[in-house]
Amino acid sequence: MPFDALKGYTELISTQEKTKEPKREPSEERAAELNEKVRKIRKGDEISVVFYEGDGYVEMTGKVGKIDFVFKFIELCGNTIYFKDIYDIK
């Protein structure tokens, strides 16, 4: 291809081809279950979280660095995950 000479062009095009996954809203029962799981989390706990980030769902596993019930977020592996974006916790 004539555009292969442009460094990163092929990679840029392939990232543009990804489809955006819509955010799923949990049912009332699922939201209550997630709320209960979040209340049990403590700093230093090893957890696995499925959450919405940008254009799709991501699963991240690690130790909880911080949990803030006022601003409603968990810090996991240096990333801030807001409660509203969490789909599942293990």
Is residue 47 a contact partner of residue 61, using CB atoms and an 8 Å limit? yes
In a domain, 3, yes or no: no
In a domain, 21, yes or no: no
pTM above 0.75, yes or no: no
Q: What is the pLDDT of residue 22?
A: 84
In a domain, 9, yes or no: no
Q: What is the pLDDT of residue 42?
A: 93
How far, in Å, CA of 79 to CA of 20, rounded? 21
Token couple for 86 = 């969490």
Cα–Cα distances in angstroms (integers) from residue 86 to residues 3, 50, 73, in the given order: 40, 6, 10
pLDDT tens sequence across 38-61: 999 999 999 999 999 888 899 999
**Overall domain count for the chain:** 1
In a domain, 11, yes or no: no
In a domain, 2, yes or no: no
In which residue are the tokens 């809203």 written?
A: 25
In a domain, 20, yes or no: no
In a domain, 8, yes or no: no
Coil, helix or strand at residue 54: coil
Q: What is the pLDDT of residue 84?
A: 93
How far, in Å, CA of 32 to CA of 49, rounded? 16
Q: Domain holding 41: CATH number?
A: 2.30.30
In a domain, 56, yes or no: yes
Domain that holds residue 79: 26-89
pLDDT tens sequence across 19-40: 678 888 888 998 899 999 999 9
How far, in Å, CA of 63 to CA of 77, rounded? 7
